[in-house]
Protein backbone atom coordinates (compact mmCIF):
# COMPACT_ATOMS: atom_id res chain seq x y z
CA UNK A 1 0.00 0.00 0.00
CA UNK A 2 1.29 3.44 -0.86
CA UNK A 3 1.99 5.95 1.86
CA UNK A 4 -1.20 7.66 2.93
CA UNK A 5 -1.36 11.30 3.96
CA UNK A 6 -1.33 11.88 7.68
CA UNK A 7 -4.58 12.72 9.45
CA UNK A 8 -3.40 16.31 9.80
CA UNK A 9 -2.59 16.52 6.06
CA UNK A 10 -6.03 15.14 5.22
CA UNK A 11 -7.68 17.60 7.58
CA UNK A 12 -5.69 20.47 6.08
CA UNK A 13 -6.80 19.53 2.55
CA UNK A 14 -10.45 19.24 3.60
CA UNK A 15 -10.34 22.60 5.34
CA UNK A 16 -8.52 24.30 2.46
CA UNK A 17 -11.35 23.58 0.00
CA UNK A 18 -13.19 26.78 -0.79
CA UNK A 19 -15.74 28.09 -3.22
CA UNK A 20 -14.24 30.45 -5.75
CA UNK A 21 -16.97 32.71 -7.08
CA UNK A 22 -17.13 33.91 -10.71
CA UNK A 23 -15.89 37.39 -9.78
CA UNK A 24 -12.69 35.70 -8.55
CA UNK A 25 -12.10 33.54 -11.65
CA UNK A 26 -9.11 33.82 -13.89
CA UNK A 27 -9.45 32.55 -17.40
CA UNK A 28 -6.16 30.69 -17.05
CA UNK A 29 -6.66 27.25 -18.64
CA UNK A 30 -6.66 24.24 -16.36
CA UNK A 31 -4.06 21.69 -17.43
CA UNK A 32 -5.45 18.62 -19.17
CA UNK A 33 -3.70 16.25 -16.74
CA UNK A 34 -5.38 17.96 -13.78
CA UNK A 35 -8.83 17.64 -15.33
CA UNK A 36 -8.16 13.96 -16.08
CA UNK A 37 -6.99 13.39 -12.51
CA UNK A 38 -10.10 15.10 -11.16
CA UNK A 39 -12.35 12.91 -13.30
CA UNK A 40 -10.44 9.75 -12.40
CA UNK A 41 -10.64 10.56 -8.70
CA UNK A 42 -14.39 11.10 -9.06
CA UNK A 43 -14.59 7.42 -10.00
CA UNK A 44 -13.32 6.48 -6.55
CA UNK A 45 -16.41 7.86 -4.82
CA UNK A 46 -18.46 5.38 -2.83
CA UNK A 47 -21.60 4.14 -4.52
CA UNK A 48 -24.02 1.38 -3.70
CA UNK A 49 -24.16 -1.56 -6.13
CA UNK A 50 -21.34 0.03 -8.14
CA UNK A 51 -23.79 1.99 -10.27
CA UNK A 52 -21.28 4.86 -10.71
CA UNK A 53 -24.17 7.24 -11.44
CA UNK A 54 -22.01 10.25 -12.27
CA UNK A 55 -21.31 11.62 -15.69
CA UNK A 56 -19.36 14.76 -16.45
CA UNK A 57 -19.03 17.04 -19.45
CA UNK A 58 -15.97 19.27 -19.59
CA UNK A 59 -16.18 22.71 -21.18
CA UNK A 60 -13.05 24.58 -22.22
CA UNK A 61 -12.22 27.35 -24.65
CA UNK A 62 -14.95 27.99 -27.23
CA UNK A 63 -17.28 25.55 -25.48
CA UNK A 64 -17.39 27.96 -22.53
CA UNK A 65 -18.58 30.71 -24.89
CA UNK A 66 -21.32 28.43 -26.27
CA UNK A 67 -22.42 27.50 -22.75
CA UNK A 68 -22.63 31.16 -21.76
CA UNK A 69 -24.68 31.99 -24.85
CA UNK A 70 -27.02 29.09 -24.10
CA UNK A 71 -27.50 30.14 -20.46
CA UNK A 72 -28.19 33.76 -21.37
CA UNK A 73 -30.62 32.82 -24.15
CA UNK A 74 -32.49 30.29 -22.01
CA UNK A 75 -32.76 32.75 -19.14
CA UNK A 76 -34.23 35.41 -21.43
CA UNK A 77 -36.62 32.94 -23.11
CA UNK A 78 -37.92 31.39 -19.89
CA UNK A 79 -38.02 34.25 -17.39
CA UNK A 80 -41.27 36.18 -17.04
CA UNK A 81 -40.78 39.90 -17.79
CA UNK A 82 -41.57 40.91 -14.21
CA UNK A 83 -38.73 38.68 -12.92
CA UNK A 84 -36.21 39.33 -15.69
CA UNK A 85 -32.89 40.92 -14.69
CA UNK A 86 -30.47 42.18 -17.32
CA UNK A 87 -27.68 41.89 -14.76
CA UNK A 88 -28.46 38.22 -14.13
CA UNK A 89 -28.67 37.51 -17.85
CA UNK A 90 -25.29 39.18 -18.41
CA UNK A 91 -23.71 37.14 -15.60
CA UNK A 92 -25.15 33.89 -16.93
CA UNK A 93 -23.86 34.78 -20.40
CA UNK A 94 -20.35 35.85 -19.40
CA UNK A 95 -19.40 33.90 -16.26
CA UNK A 96 -18.60 30.58 -17.98
CA UNK A 97 -15.93 32.20 -20.16
CA UNK A 98 -14.20 33.53 -17.04
CA UNK A 99 -13.41 29.98 -15.90
CA UNK A 100 -10.35 28.01 -16.96
CA UNK A 101 -12.67 25.01 -17.33
CA UNK A 102 -16.19 24.11 -16.35
CA UNK A 103 -17.45 20.61 -15.58
CA UNK A 104 -21.16 19.86 -15.88
CA UNK A 105 -22.35 17.39 -13.25
CA UNK A 106 -24.83 14.81 -14.51
CA UNK A 107 -26.80 12.14 -12.67
CA UNK A 108 -27.17 8.92 -14.65
CA UNK A 109 -29.94 6.96 -12.98
CA UNK A 110 -29.52 3.19 -12.75
CA UNK A 111 -31.78 1.89 -15.55
CA UNK A 112 -32.91 -0.95 -13.30
CA UNK A 113 -33.65 1.43 -10.41
CA UNK A 114 -32.08 -1.07 -8.01
CA UNK A 115 -31.67 1.53 -5.30
CA UNK A 116 -33.31 4.75 -4.17
CA UNK A 117 -32.54 7.82 -6.25
CA UNK A 118 -31.24 9.68 -3.19
CA UNK A 119 -28.38 7.16 -2.91
CA UNK A 120 -27.30 7.91 -6.45
CA UNK A 121 -27.56 11.65 -5.84
CA UNK A 122 -25.39 11.19 -2.75
CA UNK A 123 -22.86 9.20 -4.79
CA UNK A 124 -22.67 11.98 -7.39
CA UNK A 125 -22.09 14.50 -4.60
CA UNK A 126 -19.29 12.32 -3.22
CA UNK A 127 -17.73 12.16 -6.70
CA UNK A 128 -17.87 15.95 -6.91
CA UNK A 129 -16.20 16.23 -3.51
CA UNK A 130 -13.39 13.99 -4.77
CA UNK A 131 -12.94 16.25 -7.80
CA UNK A 132 -13.02 19.37 -5.67
CA UNK A 133 -10.42 18.04 -3.24
CA UNK A 134 -8.22 17.10 -6.19
CA UNK A 135 -8.56 20.63 -7.54
CA UNK A 136 -7.69 22.01 -4.10
CA UNK A 137 -4.58 19.82 -3.93
CA UNK A 138 -3.49 21.45 -7.21
CA UNK A 139 -4.13 24.96 -5.89
CA UNK A 140 -7.36 25.38 -7.85
CA UNK A 141 -10.77 26.43 -6.62
CA UNK A 142 -14.25 25.47 -7.67
CA UNK A 143 -17.80 26.71 -7.58
CA UNK A 144 -20.88 24.50 -7.62
CA UNK A 145 -23.91 26.21 -9.09
CA UNK A 146 -27.06 24.84 -10.68
CA UNK A 147 -28.96 27.67 -12.35
CA UNK A 148 -32.56 26.74 -13.12
CA UNK A 149 -31.88 27.82 -16.67
CA UNK A 150 -29.67 24.83 -17.25
CA UNK A 151 -31.22 22.24 -14.96
CA UNK A 152 -34.61 22.60 -16.59
CA UNK A 153 -33.57 23.07 -20.22
CA UNK A 154 -30.16 21.51 -20.72
CA UNK A 155 -30.88 18.00 -21.99
CA UNK A 156 -30.42 18.92 -25.64
CA UNK A 157 -27.52 21.31 -25.07
CA UNK A 158 -25.63 18.77 -22.95
CA UNK A 159 -26.71 15.89 -25.20
CA UNK A 160 -27.98 13.92 -22.23
CA UNK A 161 -28.86 10.28 -22.70
CA UNK A 162 -32.05 8.71 -21.43
CA UNK A 163 -32.01 8.53 -17.64
CA UNK A 164 -29.58 11.44 -17.29
CA UNK A 165 -30.23 14.80 -15.74
Q: Where are the domains of the chain?
A: 26-158
108 confidence band (pLDDT: 50, 70, 90): very high
64 confidence band (pLDDT: 50, 70, 90): very high
Cα 33 to the chain's mean position, in Å?
17
pTM comes to: 0.90
* 125-165 pLDDT tens trace: 999 999 999 999 999 999 998 877 677 788 889 999 888 99
1 confidence band (pLDDT: 50, 70, 90): low
Domain 26-158, CATH 3.40.640.10 — does that match?
Answer: no
Amino acid sequence: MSKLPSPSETTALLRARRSVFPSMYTDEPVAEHIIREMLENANWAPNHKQTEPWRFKVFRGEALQRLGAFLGERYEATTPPERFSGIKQRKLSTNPAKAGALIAIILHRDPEARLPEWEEIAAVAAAVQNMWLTATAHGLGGYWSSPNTITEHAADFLQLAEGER
